[in-house]
Amino acid sequence: MISNLIKRKIFTLLKVQYSNMLEYRVEIALWAISGIIPFFMLNIWTNNNLNESINISDIMLSRYFLCAFFVRQFSVVWVVFSFEEDSLMGKVSPYLIQPLNPFFRYFAQHLAEQITRFPFALIIAFFFFIFNPESIWIPNLGILILSIVSTFLSFLIQFLIQSIVACLCFWTEKASSIERLLFIPTLFLSGLLAPVVSFPKYVKSWIYLTPFPYLIDFPANLLSGNETNIVGGLSMQILWILLLFPLFKKIWSEGTKKYTAMGS
């Protein structure tokens, strides 16, 4: 009974958010285009023959960056910006009265956006293959399912981290600057701009203990068929989610106690 109710809630939320997202198709298309930085990086790598030193062939590297693009497309999170705006505008108050954690709303918003974004990402990939026909490959079904799972886990990790940052809005009001700070290590260490294998030794020795390489590098390696430790990667992702979730619950319950509505 209860689980049925939750299911219905989630389904309704998704439906509402999906139709909402479909209104802004152009926006989402543009947003998909803004994620093409990995392709520029690929261009630098192959054009200067930098990949020879890290023992990855041109084709494998181009697949890697294409997968990095895909993983990034489906793990973009912006919950802190939505929450900050809602909290500054006082929109959080009505959400808090409802018998549903407002983060479910944002979660459904993100999922709906990903569904809307999917065709655009496919179109960009199609153009990529026109320019690089030799890098076409078809991953087998098992790998495909595993990489979709790991991309989703990567999305969950980022969603949890950002939600924790978003909860800081209860104390500071402008939490998005903290998010911009956290985005810098995510950008440089996640493997979006350069695969983690190419990092110097002094970074590689500690980077696998942080959540960053599991955000893009691991799912992208998995999908593109580059060498990676599947069991280790997935368990690290789950470990980080298990660590972050109680933290989020704690900060959420502390924050709502602290909350004083705007404009009241």
Q: Binding residues for another protein, per CB under 8 A?
A: 24, 26-28, 30-31, 33-37, 40, 43-44, 47-50, 52-54, 172, 174, 177-178, 180-181, 184-185, 187-188, 193-194, 198-200, 203
What is the nearest approach in angstroms of another protein to the Cβ of residue 142? 32
Backbone angles phi, psi at 132, to 5 degrees: -125, 65
* Cβ neighbours for 54, distance < 8 A, ≥ 6 positions apart: 195, 197, 198
Q: Which of residues 65 and 234 has its CB atom nearest to another protein in the complex?
A: 65
Handedness of CA 240, 121, 14, 89 (dihedral sign): positive
What is the nearest approach in angstroms of another protein to the Cβ of residue 210? 14
Q: Which of residues 150 and 162 has its CB atom nearest to another protein in the complex?
A: 162
What is d(CA 179, CA 175) in angstroms, rounded to the nearest whole number?
7
What is the nearest approach in angstroms of another protein to the Cβ of residue 118? 17
What is the nearest approach in angstroms of another protein to the Cβ of residue 66? 16
Q: Which of residues 20 and 101 has its CB atom nearest to another protein in the complex?
A: 20
What is d(CA 38, CA 20) in angstroms, rounded to the nearest whole number?
29
What is d(CA 112, CA 157) in angstroms, rounded to the nearest whole number?
18
> 């893009």: which residue's tokens?
216
What is the nearest approach in angstroms of another protein to the Cβ of residue 104? 24
Q: Which of residues 3 and 34 has its CB atom nearest to another protein in the complex?
A: 34
Count of other CB atoms within 10 angstroms of residue 178: 17
Q: Which of residues 153 and 196 has its CB atom nearest to another protein in the complex?
A: 196
